[in-house]
Structure 1
Amino acid sequence: MRGRSRFRTAVAAATAALLCAGALSGCTAGEPTANGTTARSTSKPTPKPPSKPTPRPSPLWDVSPASVAAVGDSVTRAFDACSVLTDCPEVSWATGTDTTVNSLALRLLGPEKVATRSWNLARTGARMAELPEQMAGAAAERPELVTVMMGANDACRPTPDLMTPVADFRTSFETALARLRKGAPKAQVYVASVPSLMHLWSTGRVSPMGLEVWKLGICGAMLTDAEDLSAAADRRRAEVQDRVVAYNRVLSEVCAEDERCRYDGGAVFGFRFDEGQLSPWDFFHPSKDGQARLAELAYRRITKE
């Protein structure tokens, strides 16, 4: 009898194991009981507490900064946009108050805050070597956004051999960003590309008045003898345009190393200013309409998610 009992117990345990292995839901075999059956565990697995969603990190780029400082040259000062040989910062693409231009600051801050939450620190005639000083001034204001439009004057020298060397241009721009980071480490930076001087030449040279004005010495490296289509003149203009392209490459590369910097991707360089978007006094600087186009390009890039 004892042998039969042990045999029945073994058969019951083996049957239970086979049933468990083939079941769709998990189970565990218990110890055989005295009457030859196998006890099943009635304990249920402890449910895991619901996992908390991982918080998303705050984006480094804020599409709605609350203050704007502008650095750069005559374009940001809106030189020759309102009257001859005069700055007109109220129509500046960056910080102007003129509603027909609808500057970047107006779009971001609204008209009630432009006067107190934006600063135009650009200077007509400035070259990249001056940018570190301007950036230090911008950092002192603790802006949430700094706009940079600089480089045209580095190429617009009397002759191509006087253009700023690319290596010096890079050093000055790197130093400028370092100055900003020292005083305003979290400030965002929008960097506009240098405009295509070749396109400005091709647009303005069809205007008799533009040709006369250019003889006064505006951007000599590109615009001297604007009607000269000889091979030598073409090579000179191509050299200037190549330098502008090199400057833009520097702006792109240096900006890419700063996580709070956005380059415009060549938007200003690629924009084709028509005659109505150039100053009627020098056919070189942007008119009010041209300033409005620059504001639009900047706003589009800065507010892109």
Structure 2
Amino acid sequence: MRKVARFLLLPLLFFFIVAGVQPATAARYPTSMAALGDSITQATDVCCWYGNHPAQSWSTGNGRFDGITSHYERLLQLQPDIAGKNFNNSRSGAKASDLPRQAQAAVSQGAEYVTILIGANDVCTSSISGMTEVETFREHVNNALQTLDQMRPRPQVFVSSIPNIYQLWSVLKDNEVARLVWSAAQICQSMLASTNTPEMRQQVLDREIAFNAVLEQTCAQYKSCRTDGGAVFGYAFNASDVSRLDYFHPSLQGQANLAEVTWKAAW
């Protein structure tokens, strides 16, 4: 009789084990997400015509046949409940000063996962003197993270480092078309102006490195926040990763690689 009872209990025990494991595994993936940032996350000038192309965003994009597997598309495979809840709050031209407003939008959307890529416009200005001060940058980033940290439940937050602007200049400095576009459109003149000295470019690079340190340090203060550990800044992109429309923003390949590098760091 005791053997029969044990035999009957085995299927029941297996059911409870499986039932206990599966929901816990699914629960660790979010059912909604929001992206905060600037034109990189808007996929500005990514391909084919000028303007924003959020469907090709490394974070919340859902474009078909573009070669980009965004965070949203990867999460959709793991958590179908996230379908349609991919909010892109980034804004072209945004600086860190816009980040708290974007974070508040993510709160109103109930985002369970938030990506942040900000800072390129704080370092890429019309001149070196126009760059955002480091402590001002820190204040804005902290305010945004504090807003997200006050959500209940707290969202998972991923903070990317800023792509290496000096590397952009280094990769394309001998490209005559790129230099012409940079000058005509007055793109990131703090770094890309043809009249800049090596010392001036180093000054801009130093400010970007300081911004990335701020992102790392500030994120570390919050339990639900993690960074890429400098992976995006350290990524050795080449000319094919850069848009041929403005020679500044990521191309389709650049967005795909950005999605890959950041996904590995975030998940």
Name the aligned partner's letter for residue 77 of structure 1: Q
- In structure 2, how many angstroms separate the alpha carbons of the residues matched to 1:166 and 1:103? 30
2:69 aligned with 1:89: no
- TM-score normalised by length of structure 1: 0.74
Q: Deviations over 1:135-167 (max 9, x none)?
A: 000111111110000000000011111100000
Task: Specify the SS of the correspondent of 2:154.
Answer: coil
Partner of 2:85: 117
1:98 CA drift (Å): 2.2
Partner of 1:160: 128
Structure 2 residue runs of 5 or longer lacking an equivalent are 1-23
- In structure 2, how many angstroms separate the alpha carbons of the residues matched to 1:254 and 1:182? 15
- In structure 2, how many angstroms separate the alpha carbons of the residues matched to 1:288 and 1:114? 24
Partner of 2:45: 80
Q: Which one scores higher on RCO, CA 8 angstroms, separation ≥ 6?
A: 2
Partner of 2:191: 222
Question: Contact 1:63–1:302 at 8 Å: present in 2 too?
Answer: no
Partner of 2:181: 213
1:185 CA drift (Å): 4.7
Q: Deviations over 1:221-260 (max 9, x none)?
A: 00000xx5xxx61011000000000000000000001010
Which residues of 2 match residues 4-15 of structure 1 at below 5 A? none
2:72 aligned with 1:108: no
Alignment coverage as a number of residue pairs: 238
Partner of 2:262: 298
Partner of 2:154: 186
Q: 1:213 to 1:113 in 2, by over 3 A?
A: farther
- In structure 2, how many angstroms separate the alpha carbons of the residues matched to 1:184 and 1:283? 41
Picking from 123, 143, 148, the partner of 1:175 is 143
Structure 1 residue runs of 5 or longer lacking an equivalent are 1-58
- In structure 1, how many angstroms separate the alpha carbons of the residues matched to 2:71 and 2:187? 28
Which residues of 2 match residues 1-305 of structure 1 at below 5 A? 64-99=29-64, 100-110=67-77, 116-216=84-184, 217-225=186-194, 233-303=197-267
Q: 1:146 to 1:238 in 2, by over 3 A?
A: same
- In structure 2, how many angstroms separate the alpha carbons of the residues matched to 1:98 and 1:301? 22
For the pair shown, which has the larger CA radius of gyration, 1 or 2? 1
What percent identity do the matched residue pairs reach? 39
